[in-house]
Amino acid sequence: MGQVLKTGPPEAFALSLTGLGALAVNLSCAYLLAAYRHTSGSLTKAAFLSARNDALANVAIIGAGLATALLWLSAWPDLIVGLTIAAMNVDSAREVWEAAGEKHRAVS
């Protein structure tokens, strides 16, 4: 962990700008998939959750860039966002696993 912090903070403007561009793409995908998230199988649910999580992560990335630029010139905002994204994706993986199990039991 010490080596990660020695590299210094990310470039805040580039971080926020990249997050903003990715947010536009992921919101579009989540919007398109939202209509199908409850009507289809686990793959559709996984695609929707992925787009939704990515959009939420993009908002957090933009926030990390702003926090780095305005409040805390450190790698910590970016690291905290990364750990939060990992936890969010683990929860979504659990949801998809459960949906796939329900579909498997219904077919069996």
Amino acid at 69: A
Query: In 10 A of CB 61, how many CB atoms?
Result: 24
Q: Give this prediction's pTM.
A: 0.76
Share of the chain above pLDDT 90, in %: 40
| Domain spans in the chain, listed from the N-terminal domain onward | 11-107
Question: Alpha helix (H) ranges present in the chain?
Answer: 2-6, 12-34, 42-70, 76-107
**Residues 62 and 17: beta-carbon distance below 8 Å:** no
Cβ(65)–Cβ(23) below 8 Å: no
pLDDT tens, residue by residue, 18-45: 999 999 999 999 888 888 877 767 778 7
User: What single DSSP character describes residue 42?
Assistant: H
